[in-house]
Amino acid sequence: MAAPHDFSHQRVTHRSAYTTPEISDEFALVPSEERLDLTREYFYLHNPSFFEEMTESSGWITMTPRVIVVHYTAKPTLKETIDYFQPNRIASDRAQVAANGDLNVGIQFVVDTDGRIYRSYPENAVSRHVIGLNHLSIGIENVGDSDLDMGEDGLTWQQLEANVSLIRYLIGKYPTIDFVIAHSEYRDLEDPGHPGHDLFFEQFPAYRTEKVDPGPRFMRELRKRLKTRGSH
C-alpha cells in the first residue's frame, strides 16, 4: 500500500502581527453589472451550493478566504497582464476555459517583476483563477512565465519578497486562511487525505487543467520565508 501524501507544507502554521504592504489601486477593476452577472452565472454552473448562499457587497460577490493560491501570469509584462484581466468576458482563444463559462479569469493581486503589488479585485471578492477553489481563495499573480531566476522572463527575488509580505499580511488579517498553495497544487485538495479536502468543489469532474506555476523553487523559497513546515 502506498504511503499517504504529506500535505503539511501547504498548511499555515505561523501567524503574527502584520503590517500592510504598499498596494497600488492603479489598475483596480471597477465593478460592473455585466461582470457581476457573469460571476453569478459561473457559480450557478460550477458551484450551485455557493451560488445559493452567496452574498454581494458594493458590486462584488464576497467570500470568506480559506486558501491563498500563488500563480505566474505566463505573460512577460505588467501591461499585458492588466490588459488581459480588464475585459469582463474570457478570450475565445482559451477554448477549454471559455467552454466552462463566459466570465474572464481574474485575480485579487498582481505582483510586477520589480516587486510592486497591484490590486485587481477586492481581496474578499471571488474571482476566477483556480478550478474548485474560486469560492474561498485569494489569488496572487506574479508577472513572468517560469520559475524563480529561470531565464529572461523568470520570476524575480523582488517578487518573492513581495509575496512574503503580502501573504503575511493576508494570513494575519484573515485567521480563516489555512493553506498557501501553488497553482500547480490545486488538485491536491481533491485527495481525501488532504486536510483541506472539503474545501474543494467543482461540479464538473472533467473540468480540470494542468498547471505548473509558479514553480517549485519559488514555492520552496516562499515557504522557507513564511516558516511553514516542510518544503516542496
**Average per-residue pLDDT for the chain:** 95
pLDDT tens digits for range 147-198? 999 989 999 999 999 999 999 999 999 999 999 999 999 999 999 999 999 9
Q: Say what the pLDDT of residue 229 is.
A: 35
Runs of H (alpha helix) within 89-215: 95-98, 157-173
Q: Say what the pLDDT of residue 196 is.
A: 99
Residues 6+ apart with CB under 8 A from 152: 76
Using alpha carbons, select from 100, 123, 81, 103 the residue that is nearest to residue 32: 103
What's the Cα-to-Cα distance from 134 to each of 42, 50, 55, 223, rounded to whole Å?
Answer: 10, 10, 14, 22
Q: Say what the pLDDT of residue 102 is.
A: 95
Q: Say what the pLDDT of residue 92 is.
A: 78
| Assessment of whether the complete model's pTM goes beyond 0.85 | yes
pLDDT at 85 over 60: yes
Task: Decide: 131 and 60 in contact? Cβ < 8 Å.
Answer: no
Task: Decide: 109 and 123 in contact? Cβ < 8 Å.
Answer: yes
Using alpha carbons, select from 164, 212, 166, 162 the residue that is nearest to residue 187: 212
What's the Cα-to-Cα distance from 74 to each of 38, 110, 142, 167, 212, rounded to whole Å?
Answer: 24, 12, 9, 21, 10
* Lowest mean per-residue pLDDT among 8-22, 102-116, 119-133, 210-224: 8-22
- In this prediction, residue 2 has a pLDDT band, given cuts at 50, 70 and 90, of low
- In this prediction, residue 94 has a pLDDT band, given cuts at 50, 70 and 90, of confident
Dist. CA 56–CA 61, nearest whole Å: 4
- In this prediction, residue 3 has a pLDDT band, given cuts at 50, 70 and 90, of low
Q: Say what the pLDDT of residue 115 is.
A: 99
Mean pLDDT computed over 60-78: 98
Task: Decide: 137 and 107 in contact? Cβ < 8 Å.
Answer: no
Q: Say what the pLDDT of residue 1 is.
A: 46
Which structural domains are found in the chain, ordered by start? 19-226 (3.40.80.10)
Using alpha carbons, select from 91, 26, 27, 28 the residue that is nearest to residue 60: 28
Task: Decide: 42 and 131 in contact? Cβ < 8 Å.
Answer: no
More confident residue, 13 or 69: 69
